[in-house]
């Protein structure tokens, strides 16, 4: 399968994600749209049991619905002390209409009795590139860290203010976009996705 049309749709309406992805793929000779450019396209129901299932479904349905290649990602947060929760349900951990703050506050509340040495966690991002016929490839990135005891930093989104990265000595929300993209789970997955795009671009 070859990417003959220089347009790729990012299968998300999350402008924070779009900004991160476009920043890392800025050098690619193609036009990156997002689902915001297709307001009539129905929402993809993310009912997969894994991040890979959700990312695959989003990529294939977006590609089929728009007629363009699509790049989709799904991210889970696995917390050791919570037996891997919230996992694939990270975005709706505090409920279907939860805000980023709601999810972070629920996580901090559950982690309150957990001591500093036992707050290990990891982000996993699976990214899938699909053509309009549904042929797809997947890559993934992972970031190890710890759950902080309170909010730190005002940048980023999602769990960034409570996800502390020991090697950087700061949370994801305390990093610049460039710093975050250089080490984050999504950044790692995007580097591999960029290789997929380069191989498929004709």
The per-residue pLDDT of the chain, averaged, comes to 93
Under a CB-based contact definition with an 8 Å cutoff, are residues 136 and 59 in contact? yes
- pLDDT of 16: 86
Q: Which domains does the chain have, with CATH numbers?
A: 7-200 (3.90.950.10)
Cα(190)–Cα(119) distance, integer angstroms: 27
Using DSSP, how many helices (H) and how many strands (E) does the chain show? 5, 8
Higher-confidence position of 3 and 59: 59
Torsion-angle region of 158 (φ positive above 0: left; ψ -120 to 50: alpha; else: beta): left
- pLDDT of 3: 62
Instruction: Give Cβ neighbours of residue 45 (< 8 Å, ≥ 6 apart).
Output: 57
Please indicate whether residue 74 is annotated as part of the active site: yes
Cα(127)–Cα(141) distance, integer angstroms: 8
* Confidence at 118, pLDDT banded by 50, 70, 90: very high
- pLDDT of 28: 87
- pLDDT of 5: 61
> Out of 73, 74, 131, 160, which one is annotated catalytic?
74
């Amino acid at each position: 399968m070859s990417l003959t049309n220089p347009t790729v749709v990012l299968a998300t309406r999350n402008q924070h994600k779009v900004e991160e992805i476009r920043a890392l793929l800025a050098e690619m000779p193609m036009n990156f749209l997002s689902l915001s450019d297709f307001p009539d396209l129905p929402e993809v129901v993310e009912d997969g049991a894994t991040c890979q299932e959700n990312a695959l479904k989003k990529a294939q349905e977006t590609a089929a619905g728009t007629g363009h290649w699509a790049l989709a990602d799904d991210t889970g947060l696995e917390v050791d002390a919570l037996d891997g929760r919230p996992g694939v349900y990270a975005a709706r951990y505090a409920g279907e209409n939860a805000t980023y703050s709601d999810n972070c506050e629920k996580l901090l509340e559950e982690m309150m009795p957990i001591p500093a040495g036992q707050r290990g966690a990891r982000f996993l991002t699976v990214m899938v590139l699909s053509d309009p016929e549904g042929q797809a490839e997947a890559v993934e990135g992972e970031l190890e860290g710890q759950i902080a005891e309170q909010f730190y930093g005002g940048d980023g989104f999602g769990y960034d203010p409570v996800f502390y990265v020991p090697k950087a000595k700061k949370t994801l929300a305390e990093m610049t976009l460039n710093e975050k993209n250089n080490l984050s789970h999504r950044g790692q997955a995007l580097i591999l996705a960029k290789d997929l795009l380069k191989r498929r671009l004709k």
